[in-house]
Amino acid sequence: MNSISITLGKNNVGAYINDVNLNSLNKNITVQIKSILDNYGVVFIKEQNLNSNAYQNFAKCIGELVEYPRLKGLENFPYINVLERKPSDKSLAFGGSWLHQDTSYLKKDRPRYTMLMGIEIPEGQGNTIFSSGFNAYNKLPDEVKQKIKNAIGVFSSAGPISKTRIELEKRAGIQSAKVLEAEHPIVQEVNGQKTLYVSPGHLMKIKNIDDGEKIKNFLIEHVNKEEFIFSYKWSKGDLVLWDNLSVMHKASEIKNCSRIMHRITIK
């Protein structure tokens, strides 16, 4: 069995998967990619330039595809959503300004993975910023690890990041019927590794501990530290897949240019 080679991202955030062609899928490749994803939280696969059918087929190897109602889907491919930034757009980029874990405000059925492919990439803009929950947890002081081991976070769709969601809904001509809220443990485990699940864009408060507000602010500041961050520079056709349990992300600022990404959400 041929092993896939990897190169770690900056600050050991995620892993580049080298020398694979996702147009030629086989079980050996997909099992290895899934294992690397479990271990590193996010994988970067350069310049694949998949057509919609191949892109969706690869996503199905990772898990069950989920329709995302706030984004338009491609014709004949409703699970492939279009994230488009136009030169005339002045608002924040969707998912911008706050690190977050997608849909942390949903309960047990929340989607696990998010995948993006670069369709149109502006020169020198549009990086996606990732923060590793694995690395952030490992670098916590022992007394904080002890304090938060049973802590529960309250996550809301009305959290700080909601202004980008509201802008997106306005463009789509829809309005959320209600605020969605869910509770999840702040410390999660993936493949035997503990990770921080704090989603700063959605986290409202932390329960089950003393000084919950103080700890919330400490953890949000902690996951934003430069030592846990990797700003990923896109090329056309790149594919990036991450696990929302173990990695946080946000969009960087984009001005006066066009950027198109295709996104798939996976359970």
Task: Give the CATH number, domain containing residue 128.
Answer: 3.60.130.10
Q: Determine, yes or no, domain membership for 1.
A: no
Cα 183 to Cα 231: distance, rounded to the nearest angstrom: 29
Q: Determine, yes or no, domain membership for 128.
A: yes
Q: Determine, yes or no, domain membership for 32.
A: yes
Q: Determine, yes or no, domain membership for 155.
A: yes
Is residue 152 exposed (0-12), middle (13-18) or buried (19+ Cβ within 10 Å)? middle
Cα 82 to Cα 68: distance, rounded to the nearest angstrom: 10
How do the pLDDT tens digits run along the chain, 267 residues long?
578 999 999 999 999 999 899 998 888 999 999 999 999 999 999 999 999 999 999 999 999 999 876 677 888 999 999 988 888 776 555 545 789 999 999 998 889 999 999 999 998 888 999 999 999 999 999 999 999 999 999 999 999 887 655 555 555 555 555 789 999 999 999 999 999 999 999 999 999 999 999 999 999 999 999 999 999 999 999 999 999 999 999 988 888 888 999 999 999
User: Tell me, what's the pLDDT at 148?
Assistant: 97
Q: Which residue segment(s) compose the domain that 44 sits in?
A: 6-266
Is residue 160 exposed (0-12), middle (13-18) or buried (19+ Cβ within 10 Å)? middle
User: Tell me, what's the pLDDT at 169?
Assistant: 52
Question: DSSP H helical segments within the chain, as ranges?
Answer: 27-40, 52-62, 133-138, 142-148, 162-172, 212-223
User: Tell me, what's the pLDDT at 257?
Assistant: 84
User: Tell me, what's the pLDDT at 70?
Assistant: 66
User: Tell me, what's the pLDDT at 221?
Assistant: 97
Which residue, 28, 32, 33, 29, is CA-closest to 44?
33
Q: Which helix (DSSP H) or strand (DSSP E) does residue 256 occupy?
A: none
Q: Determine, yes or no, domain membership for 193.
A: yes
Q: Determine, yes or no, domain membership for 77.
A: yes
Describe the strand order of the beta sheet including 181-185 as a list of residue ranges.
181-185, 152-156, 203-207
User: Tell me, what's the pLDDT at 46?
Assistant: 97
Strands 247-251 and 128-132: antiparallel
Domain count, the chain: 1
User: Tell me, what's the pLDDT at 189?
Assistant: 97
Q: Determine, yes or no, domain membership for 72.
A: yes
Longest CA–CA separation in the chain, Å: 53
